């Protein structure tokens, strides 16, 4: 994504980032083991889009999150947490649907398992009218994820409407695939992700997600080739996130690689959102792909060091200052 100079020319009069999606109340088990065996759980909130929004806000980027919550205490908690982190939250309150719920378990083998209770939730009923008039048109960047497209037909319609508004106003679009097999099957997901990716300025994906979008599930493409092919689908820019193996970016035909920053993983959920936010923040500030990848890798690593989807997201001052308790990554797998 080439955003250098956006605020001085095509982006004159615009500011910040807009993102939209579902944020849920999160129940986190105390200790390792299945929820069925635990006596206590901690209440938190989380969602890929709001995680990214919070990360952007901590990095000094003005950001607005758009969503839908139930008329319930869970919805109140979602809005309190998002707004408490300096994000502008624009939410429709749905009197007929409940705020979604997810549970996070840390299993004995080191894996993190996330279970969702979001079918028919308020967030899944997101619709184009929930996005305020002129909000996207006044922004520098619209950030979307595949999760929103996978939630429901109305949520995907909202994504497409937001894309059309961004295109009409000349607003750039970033897209993080974030495939959720529990929400949508591979074939339907691929069709929706390709539709969004082709209209995006930059696409982020894990290597498995890139193969899904490109319909190359069994091809032994190397990671650089994956990034280039994914960039060809979009507008020449893509980043393939490789977890503990780092990341590869393809920008206008050039390939850049960055090793992962070693860190002892406490909770890997939210690391990808932190990575994306830091990369976008760097590019919006006029940094090149190398610096953007460096900052993204550090942000993703820092996000793993504390339990919670967004609690350890770094400020810009924290990036480049070293990581607490660094060691080899111990586990970055999340089942969801």
Domain boundaries, the chain: 19-335
Residues of the chain with pLDDT under 70: 1-12, 218-221, 263-270, 304-316, 318, 320-336
pLDDT of res. 14: 80
Distances (CA, A) of 263 to 47, 295, 313, 325: 23, 15, 14, 7
**DSSP 8-state assignment for residue 212:** H
Phi-psi region of 21 (alpha: psi -120 to 50; beta: other; left: phi over 0): left
CA dihedral 215, 216, 218, 219 (to 10 degrees): 170
Kindly give the interhelix angle for 153-169 and 186-197, rounded to the nearest 10 degrees.
Answer: 10
pLDDT of res. 42: 85
Which of 130, 176, 273, 332 is labelled catalytic?
273
The topology (CATH level 3) of 19-335 is 3.40.1190
pTM of the model: 0.87
Which positions ≥6 away from 282 have C-beta within 8 Å?
Answer: 291, 292, 295, 296
Residue 273 appears among annotated catalytic residues: yes
The helix or strand, by DSSP H or E, that contains position 195, with its residue range, turns out to be helix 186-197
């Amino acid at each position: 994504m080439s955003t250098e100079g956006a605020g001085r020319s095509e982006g004159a009069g615009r500011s910040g980032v807009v993102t939209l999606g579902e944020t849920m109340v999160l129940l986190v088990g105390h200790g390792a083991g299945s929820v069925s065996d635990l006596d206590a759980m901690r209440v938190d909130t989380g969602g890929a889009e709001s995680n990214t929004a919070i990360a952007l806000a901590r990095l000094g980027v003005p950001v607005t999150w758009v969503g839908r919550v139930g008329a319930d205490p869970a919805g109140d908690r979602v809005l309190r947490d998002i707004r408490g982190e300096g994000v502008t939250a624009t939410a429709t309150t749905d009197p007929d649907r409940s705020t979604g719920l997810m549970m996070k378990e840390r299993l004995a083998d080191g894996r993190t398992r996330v279970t969702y209770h979001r079918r028919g939730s308020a967030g899944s009923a997101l619709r184009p009218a929930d996005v305020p008039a002129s909000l996207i048109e006044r922004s520098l960047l619209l950030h979307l994820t595949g999760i929103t497209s996978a939630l429901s037909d109305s949520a995907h319609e909202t994504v497409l409407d937001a894309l059309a508004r961004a295109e009409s106003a000349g607003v750039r679009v970033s897209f993080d695939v974030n495939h959720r097999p529990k929400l949508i099957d591979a074939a339907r997901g691929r069709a929706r992700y390709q539709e969004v990716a082709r209209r995006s300025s930059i696409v982020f994906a894990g290597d498995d997600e890139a193969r899904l979008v490109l319909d190359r599930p069994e091809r032994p493409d190397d990671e650089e080739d994956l990034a280039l092919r994914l960039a060809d689908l979009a507008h020449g820019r893509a980043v393939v996130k490789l977890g503990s193996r780092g990341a590869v970016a393809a920008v206008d035909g050039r390939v850049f690689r960055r090793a992962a920053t070693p860190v002892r993983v406490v909770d890997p959920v939210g690391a990808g959102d932190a990575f994306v936010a830091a990369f976008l923040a760097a590019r919006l500030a006029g940094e090149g792909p190398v610096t953007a990848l460096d900052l993204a890798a550090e942000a993703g690593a820092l996000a793993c060091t504390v339990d919670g989807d967004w609690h350890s997201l770094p400020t810009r001052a924290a990036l480049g200052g070293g990581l607490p308790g660094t060691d080899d990554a111990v586990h970055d797998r999340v089942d969801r």
